[in-house]
Structure 1
Amino acid sequence: MRDPECTPPIERVAAVTERLAVLLAAGVPPSAAWGYLASGGVSRQGRGGPDPARIPEVLAAAAAAAQVGADIAVAIAEAARGAPDGTRQRSANGSRASPAAAAWFPVAAAWSVAIETGAPLAGCLHQLAGSQRALGQAQRDIEAALAGPRSTSRLVLALPVVGLLFGLLLGFDTFGTLVGTAPGLVCLTGAALLMLAAWRWSTGMVNRSTPRSTAPGLAIDLTAIAMSSGVSVDRAVAVVTSALARFRPLEPAEPPTSRSASRHERNRDDAVISGVLALSRAAGVPAADLLRGEADQVRRDARSNAQQAAASLATRLMLPLGVCILPAFMLVGVAPLLLSVLSSTVQGIG
Structure 2
Amino acid sequence: MRVTRRAQAAPDAATVRQLAVLLQAGIAPERAWRHLASLGAEPARSVTARMEADVPLTRAIAAAGPGWGEIAAAWTVATTVGAPLAASLRGIADTLQDAADIRDEVRVALTEPLTTTRLMSWLPVIGLGIGIALGFDSLRVLTTNPIGRGCLVAGVALIVAAQLWSRTLARRAEPPVGIPGLHADLLAIAVSGGVSLDRAQAIVARADPSGGAAHPDVDRILELSRTAGVPAADLLRADASLARHRARTEGRMAAARLSSRLLVPLALCTLPAFLLLGVAPMLLGIITTTVLPL
- TM-score, normalisation: structure 1: 0.77
The offset of 1:66, in angstroms, is 4.9
Say whether residues 1:74 and 2:59 are aligned partners.
yes
CA RMSD of aligned residues (A): 2.0
Residue deviations 1:282-309, cap 9 Å, x none? 2222111110110000000011011011
Match of 1:296 among 241, 245, 265: 241
Conserved in 2, the CA contact under 8 Å of 1:224 and 1:288?
Answer: yes
Letter in 1 for 2:189: I
Residue deviations 1:129-181, cap 9 Å, x none? 11111111111111100001111221222111111111011011101110111
The corresponding residue for 1:84 is: none
The corresponding residue for 1:147 is: 111
The offset of 1:121, in angstroms, is 0.5
The offset of 1:116, in angstroms, is 2.0
Conserved in 1, the CA contact under 8 Å of 2:103 and 2:175?
Answer: no
Residue deviations 1:194-221, cap 9 Å, x none? 2222122211111111111331111111
3-state SS of paired residue (2:63): helix
Distance in 2, matches of 1:156 and 1:166, equals: 15
The corresponding residue for 1:331 is: 276
Letter in 2 for 1:196: V
Distance in 1, matches of 2:201 and 2:242, equals: 20
Conserved in 2, the CA contact under 8 Å of 1:217 and 1:298?
Answer: yes
Match of 2:136 among 149, 154, 172: 172
Residue deviations 1:220-253, cap 9 Å, x none? 1111111111112222111111112xx35xxxxx
Conserved in 2, the CA contact under 8 Å of 1:30 and 1:66?
Answer: no
Conserved in 2, the CA contact under 8 Å of 1:114 and 1:120?
Answer: yes
Letter in 2 for 1:105: G
Distance in 1, matches of 2:175 and 2:139, equals: 42
The corresponding residue for 2:37 is: 38
The corresponding residue for 2:3 is: none
3-state SS of paired residue (1:168): helix
- TM-score, normalisation: structure 2: 0.91
The offset of 1:79, in angstroms, is 2.8
The corresponding residue for 1:200 is: 164
The corresponding residue for 1:47 is: none
The corresponding residue for 2:14 is: 15
Question: What are the within-5 Å matches in structure 2 for residues 193-272 of structure 1?
Answer: 193-244=157-208, 247-248=209-210, 266-267=213-214, 270-272=215-217
The offset of 1:68, in angstroms, is 7.2
Match of 2:91 among 127, 132, 143: 127
The runs of 4+ residues in structure 1 deviating greater than 6 Å are: none
Identical aligned residues as a percent:
42
How many matched pairs? 287
Seen in structure 2, the aligned counterparts of structure 1 residues 239 and 39 have a Cα distance that, compared at 3 Å, is same
Distance in 2, matches of 1:291 and 1:193, equals: 52
Distance in 2, matches of 1:305 and 1:14, equals: 23
Question: What are the within-5 Å matches in structure 2 for residues 39-58 of structure 1?
Answer: 39-41=38-40, 43=41, 56=42, 58=43
Structure 2 gaps of 5+ residues are 1-7
Structure 1 gaps of 5+ residues are 1-7, 44-55, 81-100, 249-261
Distance in 1, matches of 2:234 and 2:183, equals: 14
